[in-house]
Amino acid sequence: MPDRARSLLHFERIRELSVQLDDSPAATLKFLEAYLALLPDRLERILRGIIDCDQAASREAVLSLRVASAMSGAVSAELCCLELEPLIRGNQFSLAVASARRLSSEVSALYETAPAILLEAHRELTA
């Protein structure tokens, strides 16, 4: 499973985050654990905003997930959010559905692999 975890997360970003947090593996792992645990709720907010054609709610939810994904090294999720942002800004909610499906797949993979991701991150930060 370490290969799967490494395919989903860029661990150099996790190391960079740890440096920014005063070389604190514990704080970094806590942030990563919270990021992974909140993925379903964040995705739900995005999907609800798109379904309701609510530009403000969708934009805030996508921005939140994009920034947290970037900090966590979840580059594919970050890129999906970047793809969604202009569609939401342009009120192109019907087009946003396809991008949201890709994001949903990325989020599902991250969430399902969370234990392996956390284990691998722990190894990276404490080696």
Task: Kindly list the domain boundaries of the chain, sorted by start residue.
Answer: 2-126
What are the Cα distances from residue 51, in Å, to 80, 81, 99? 17, 16, 13
Query: Which CATH code, of 1.10.3470, 1.20.120, 1.10.540, 1.20.1740, is assigned to 2-126?
Result: 1.20.120
| Tens-place pLDDT, residues 93-118 | 999 999 999 999 999 999 999 999 99
| Tens-place pLDDT, residues 19-75 | 998 888 999 999 999 999 999 999 999 999 999 999 999 999 999 999 999 999 999
- Asked if 80 contacts 109 with a C-beta cutoff of 8 angstroms, the reply is no
> Which among 73, 80, 1 has a CA at the least distance from the CA of 31?
73
